[in-house]
């Protein structure tokens, strides 16, 4: 139950939202073709890093960065698979699961930094 409470912490919600926006801007960098799509990509970059910066005031930096980039990485891979027919194979799936397990493990062993 403690892990669920930690995940629902406002700062961790900012990290999750920032990671979702990271998925958007990384996808935009690869696939944007119009001015509107590029505008959304740029706005996503700014908002993603803004949320990351806000969360950094409350959370341990190493764990924060690992979770942020890990969720962004896995989310971007899954987006590529679902929307752009990128290949998925057993080793890729295993490595994504390993990354997620590592993220959860880091989250479980870190405590909120003292301010």
The mean predicted confidence, pLDDT, of the chain is: 89
Q: What angle do CA 56, 96, 30 make, to 5 degrees?
A: 75
Check residue 107 and give its pLDDT. Answer: 77
Q: What angle do CA 69, 49, 104 make, to 5 degrees?
A: 30
Q: What angle do CA 33, 39, 43 make, to 5 degrees?
A: 135
- pLDDT for 13-63, tens place per residue? 999 999 999 999 999 999 999 999 999 999 999 999 999 999 999 888 888
Q: How many CA atoms lie within 13 A of 76 on its CB side?
A: 19
Q: pTM of whole model > 0.85? A: no
């Amino acid at each position: 139950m403690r892990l669920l409470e930690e995940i629902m912490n406002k700062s961790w919600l900012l990290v999750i939202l920032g990671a979702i926006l990271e998925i958007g801007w990384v996808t935009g960098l690869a696939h944007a073709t119009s001015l509107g799509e590029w505008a959304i990509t740029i706005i996503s970059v700014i908002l993603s890093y803004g949320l990351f910066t806000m969360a950094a005031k409350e959370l341990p930096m190493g764990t924060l960065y690992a979770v942020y980039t890990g969720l962004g990485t896995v989310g971007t891979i899954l987006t590529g698979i679902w929307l752009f027919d990128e290949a998925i194979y057993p080793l890729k799936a295993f490595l994504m699961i390993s990354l997620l397990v590592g993220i959860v493990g880091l989250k479980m062993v870190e405590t909120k930094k003292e301010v």
